[in-house]
Structure 1
Amino acid sequence: MAAVSVTGTAGIQEPCTLHEQDVSASPDLQLLCRALGMSPDPVNKLQIPDFNFLQEMAKLPVDLTAIPGGTDVQAMRHWIDNVFLQGPLAEYRARCDIQRRRPGTRIDVKEVSVQCSDGSQDTFNIRVYDPQIEETISKRQLRPAILMFHGGGWIHGNSRGDEIASTIFAADLGAVVLGVDYRLAPEHPFPAPLEDCSEAIAWTIRNAETYQIDTSRIALWGASAGGNLAAAASIKHSRERSVTGYPSLRLVNLVVPVTAHPKAQAAFNERRLCKRSNIEETVADVPPAPEQVVKEFETLYELYVGNSTDIYDHLASPLMAQDISQHPQTHITVAACDYLMPQGLAYAQLLRSFGTHVTEEILAGVPHGFTFPLNAAVTKRWLENQRDIFMAAFSSADA
């Protein structure tokens, strides 16, 4: 199984082999498919389940049926803290055998408390991954920085969930990686999480000298709901630059991002002005999300935006943005078996219509949570490619 890459408006690079073995030969893997929201016999070939991915999922030391519903705030927080981030599952995932460029690099990790910018007395934490590369440190060379916005439906999760990727990026890229523990909904609804992400960018720029950061090489990375925050924060940053005087972001890297409330997505489709991309046409026959999935997604969004926010606000649903000028180059990863795939691809095309350089990457045969089994071949290749995408952006002469 391989990724499908799209660069600008170029054609699709089809994988030679989408899967290693027919999933229908294994009843257990068929059940796993359905548990992950995947069809063992899909209409579109890009959704043919990745056999290796399913095998690696089956190896995980966790009862997938015991994972709480995504909108159960307290139960999900408990599961993340006590199952995902520690114990057998966390230990298993930490043993991933990603090919490393600087495997022996020491990473200093520390938590920094940052004052929220909304006038409250609240604070949020930034988890700083500081690579101790002697040549860079001793010569006071400026380094790139990556701000990581974790997923979790805006209601759970923290930066430690992305620790493996954070340490790989820090070591192999020589970058200062900053995991942003923004305040969570529903206790802190929109715009609080977004304001924290924006303040994290500003804090990074203000403290660039302390961490030897090159402010012209700051990138954002966000997954799922974190992708929503990264998308909105980059729009906000771009529009406020004339006032703040801050440099442009070098790259915005969105992974299976949420770009719109379902109703906002429907409104975008009804009045869409930008033409569909080639890859959108390729997946046009993919069935829409089941009604129950849509309802749960709407409930999750309502937990985020609260009662006072318009779901069509472009900072809550970036797909509704009317003008995104001066937006930094963007890379978007979508999973072919993820119900969020259409809105991720639509957002790529929307950005492109405003002049942004955009690349897309479709991972065939995997669902939204494709990073769960880090030893799956598709996940390892994707993570290595993420590193290469950052490296190319940081090496570019374009500011």
Structure 2
Amino acid sequence: MLSKMHTEAGVPAVPGLSSSSENPHKKPKKAEDKTGAPPSRFSLRMSAAWWRSLQCIGMTLHYLAPPRPPNPAFSKSISATISSKKGNFTLQFYTPKGYDEAKKTRERFPAVVNFHGGGFTLGNATDDARFARFVLETCNAIFISVDYRLAPEYPFPTAVDDGADALLYLIRYAPELYIDPYRLATSGFSAGGNIAITSPLRLTAHLKTITASTAPGQEQVPVYRIVAIATWYPICDYTLSRVERRATAIRPDQTLPPGLTTLFDSSYLFPPNLDLADPCLSPSKATDQQLAEGIPPNVIFYTCEWDMLLREGEDLAKRLERPPISKNVHYRMIEGVPHGWDKGPDPLKPPAHSEQLYLECCERLRDVFNGAESK
């Protein structure tokens, strides 16, 4: 079966869908402007399954490098309440030292809610276990990684809705989970970096509708505070074409292959008339008011020098820092690395500089948590 799969330059591709569907002279506004004629959803699922099997091998090798990353302490399956696509998804909980004694001590821990990468099409919640170790050891925080539902089976906005639902669940059940709801943060990598930004925006919008429709005496959402976002090489602006992104990349040869990015776009950006400027898809297109209200006060923002997403990430980081949004932004471009460099499949050692940068990020998160008001 695999030997018959359509490829472009050796890269598995979706049959009937060219990796050059975009018109390089037209700025995309709708999904169809990026993907062309919508491909068969079945063919997208077949291609996604192929790539998922490859990624499973790569991540297995990634886990083998010493020091070995931790395993989740427990998991919870929760129901989707915000998404129109009903169903369940899983939260994986990594717990810090002292968590098992929390029933006796009544200690409350800060929590980092994480979203894995994979173009909204690949990956799972254990992919960022190496980062989880630094959160546990440096921040003494609970690390909750979200197995949000993937495209093409679940296109936009399901992943973002699941992210907001995960936050809402953790806020509602904070006492039972020994979470301090005043010390929450989101984190994520690539597509997950997008969700780390957009899920607080989505939650803010959702809670406005709840507040407007809640009658006196009905259950209210508990008070909470998301104090930080840690986002790594996120997708920020889908109104930029892949052609434009590659043209502005410092090392186009180091960007993701067109066959893979075409799969990602065709899987997630559906239906064809989807507005690419939706702020929960392209946070760069959110208004100043939406960003000021929905983004936490502290943003830790990393981009990669050789990444085609560098420019849009850099632009958003600068915008978040400027008035009238005026967030406290720590921005760093990681020199000499491509997109997703920290997930390299080397079984002998972690990718270069990944541990130093994870530590730096978690030290900043720790400082935010220690300065946050806890009640």
- Bin the TM-score by the shorter chain: 0.7 to 0.9
- CA drift of 1:311 comes to 1.3
2:262 and 2:223 mapped to 1: Cα distance?
35
1:292 and 1:176 mapped to 2: Cα distance?
32
Kindly report which structure 2 residues correspond to 1:21-170, keeping only aligned pairs within 5 A, or say none.
Answer: 72-81=47-56, 83-86=57-60, 89-93=61-65, 95-96=66-67, 109-117=73-81, 118=83, 120-133=85-98, 138-170=104-136
> Do the aligned partners of 2:249 and 2:307 also contact (CA within 8 Å) in 1?
no
2:144 and 2:168 mapped to 1: Cα distance?
12
2:54 and 2:311 mapped to 1: Cα distance?
29
Kindly report which structure 2 residues correspond to 1:237-386, keeping only aligned pairs within 5 A, or say none.
Answer: 237-242=203-208, 243=211, 246-263=223-240, 287=250, 289=252, 297=261, 299-307=263-271, 308-323=273-288, 324-326=291-293, 327-328=295-296, 329-353=298-322, 354-373=325-344, 375-386=350-361
Residues 97 and 166 of structure 1, relative CA distance in 2, 3 Å threshold: closer
1:265 and 1:346 mapped to 2: Cα distance?
17
- CA drift of 1:350 comes to 2.1
- CA drift of 1:397 comes to 3.4
1:304 and 1:120 mapped to 2: Cα distance?
14
1:209 and 1:325 mapped to 2: Cα distance?
28
Residues 355 and 265 of structure 1, relative CA distance in 2, 3 Å threshold: farther
Count of aligned residue pairs for this structure pair: 305
> Do the aligned partners of 2:72 and 2:92 also contact (CA within 8 Å) in 1?
no
SS of 1:312 mapped into structure 2: coil
User: TM-score with structure 1 length normalisation?
Assistant: 0.68
Cα-Cα RMSD: 3.2
> Do the aligned partners of 2:115 and 2:195 also contact (CA within 8 Å) in 1?
yes
> Do the aligned partners of 1:319 and 1:347 also contact (CA within 8 Å) in 2?
yes
Answer yes or no: is 1:178 the counterpart of 2:144: yes
SS of 1:332 mapped into structure 2: strand
- CA drift of 1:303 comes to 1.5
Kindly report which structure 2 residues correspond to 1:183-222, keeping only aligned pairs within 5 A, or say none.
Answer: 183-222=149-188
User: TM-score with structure 2 length normalisation?
Assistant: 0.72
- CA drift of 1:184 comes to 0.3
Amino acid at match of 2:156: F
1:84 and 1:266 mapped to 2: Cα distance?
27
Give the 4+ runs in structure 1 shifted more than 6 A: 264-267
Aligned to 1:47: none
> Do the aligned partners of 1:176 and 1:211 also contact (CA within 8 Å) in 2?
no
SS of 1:220 mapped into structure 2: strand
**Is there any run of 5+ residues in structure 2 with no aligned partner, and where?**
1-45, 212-220
**Is there any run of 5+ residues in structure 1 with no aligned partner, and where?**
1-70, 99-105, 270-284
Residues 119 and 311 of structure 1, relative CA distance in 2, 3 Å threshold: closer
Amino acid at match of 2:159: P
Amino acid at match of 1:301: D
1:397 and 1:132 mapped to 2: Cα distance?
21
1:392 and 1:345 mapped to 2: Cα distance?
23
Aligned to 2:214: none
- CA drift of 1:135 comes to 6.5
- CA drift of 1:233 comes to 0.9
Identity %: 23
Amino acid at match of 1:261: Y
